[in-house]
């Protein structure tokens, strides 16, 4: 019998779930190899969670699922898992239980817990319990392994920080969500008033980021919303959207208002450091690319003038206003 590929197994399981919502039947029809594969992916999250928790050594405790509540929506801006990912998660939990503990914060009322990390896992557990109410369970899905922060152990700001960090390291995020994550985390950093507050370097280490990417995301978060949405929607590249950061908020708003229908990556890349005035911006964004061929040439110049000549040549090729001035001068 031919072994099904990974994609074939997932497609088969997805179709069965879509047709009858019977997780039990889907699990039985998929090979143990496939179950092992999706389970391994979620096991790796333990290591990532440990990096976020740092030196805090907290023991896991079993909590009744009825005591777990979603955190307030304004704290958790992350979208739910895509359908295929949720199916994989349910499959893994059904067969093996929860590998990665849910992180929770005790409510001030003492009658339950807010979920800080693990919303999708708890949602998957509840679906499994509903879909398989008449089946014999392999695990006690009503008892959830949790890492508990007591009500006086952290504050609301720290709770939101944990939501952001744990979601960031476990997910494949869209550019928009990633920028939102960095913007919120740096905002919380500014609110820390004591001398022991987190630094950018510590944030980079916690989330496994590059410093350049962090500063770029911060810059994008401060852009005119209309311009940044072009990047989030995939209409322009990251390199292109970063060109707008050289302009003031007023100029950014003017650009979007007047050129939003013609903003393409190629045209935006005309906005180099020599483009400053509205007239120069207009010329750069409305210039049509030509299909003229390029040729390589060389000239001999004094050694002390090499840098200046290169700058002039670069400005001529990239700055429409400078090119126009040169063309008129040498015509």
**Fold classification of 6-172 (topology level):** 3.90.1530
Classify strands 143-149 and 102-106 as parallel, antiparallel or unpaired. parallel
pLDDT band at 194 (very low <50, low <70, confident <90, very high): very low
Alpha-carbon torsion (94, 99, 104, 110), positive or negative = positive
For 68-103, write each residue's pLDDT tens digit.
999 888 888 777 777 777 887 787 788 777 878 899
Residue 34 CA to residue 26 CA, distance in Å, equals: 12
Longest CA–CA separation in the chain, Å: 88
Domain boundaries, the chain: 6-172, 223-293+300-325
CA distance 327 to 212: 38
pLDDT digits (tens, 9 = 90+) for 118-177: 888 899 889 888 887 666 666 678 899 999 999 899 888 888 888 877 776 666 678 888
Does residue 5 surpass a pLDDT of 60?
no
> Using H for helix, E for strand and C for coil, what is the string for 228-258?
HHHHHCCCCCHHHHHHHHHCCHHHHHHHHHH
Residue 25 class from Cβ within 10 Å (0-12 exposed, 13-18 middle, 19+ buried)?
Answer: middle
Please report the pLDDT score of residue 174 as a whole number. Answer: 81
For 138, the token pair is 């392999």
């Amino acid at each position: 019998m031919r072994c099904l590929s990974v994609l074939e197994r997932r497609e088969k399981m997805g179709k069965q779930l879509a047709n009858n919502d019977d997780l039990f039947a889907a699990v039985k029809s998929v090979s143990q190899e496939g179950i092992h594969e999706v389970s391994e992916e979620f096991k790796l999250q333990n290591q990532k969670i440990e990096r976020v928790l740092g030196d805090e050594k907290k023991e896991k405790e079993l909590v009744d699922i009825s005591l777990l509540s979603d955190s307030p929506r304004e704290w958790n801006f992350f979208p739910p898992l895509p359908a295929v990912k949720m199916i994989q998660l349910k499959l893994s939990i059904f067969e093996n239980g929860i590998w990665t503990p849910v992180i929770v914060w005790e409510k001030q009322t003492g009658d339950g817990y807010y979920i800080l990390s693990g919303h999708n896992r708890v949602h998957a557990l509840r679906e499994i319990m509903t879909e398989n109410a008449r089946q014999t369970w392999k695990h006690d899905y009503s008892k959830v392994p949790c890492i508990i922060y007591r009500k006086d152990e952290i504050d609301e700001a720290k709770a939101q920080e944990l939501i952001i960090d744990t979601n960031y390291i476990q997910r494949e995020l869209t550019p928009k969500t990633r920028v939102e994550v960095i913007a919120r985390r740096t905002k919380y950093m500014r609110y820390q008033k004591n001398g022991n507050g987190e630094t950018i370097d510590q944030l980079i280490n916690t989330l496994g980021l590059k410093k350049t990417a962090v500063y770029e995301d911060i810059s994008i978060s401060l852009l005119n919303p209309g311009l940044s949405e072009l990047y989030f929607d995939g209409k322009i590249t990251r390199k292109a959207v970063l060109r707008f950061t050289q302009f003031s908020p007023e100029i950014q708003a003017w650009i979007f208002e007047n050129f939003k229908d013609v903003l393409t990556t190629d045209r935006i890349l005309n906005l180099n450091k020599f483009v400053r005035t509205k007239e120069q911006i207009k010329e750069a964004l409305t210039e049509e690319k030509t299909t003229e061929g390029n040729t390589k040439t060389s000239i001999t110049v004094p050694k002390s003038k090499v840098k200046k000549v290169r700058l002039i040549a670069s400005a001529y090729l990239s700055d429409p206003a400078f090119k126009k001035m040169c063309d008129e001068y040498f015509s």
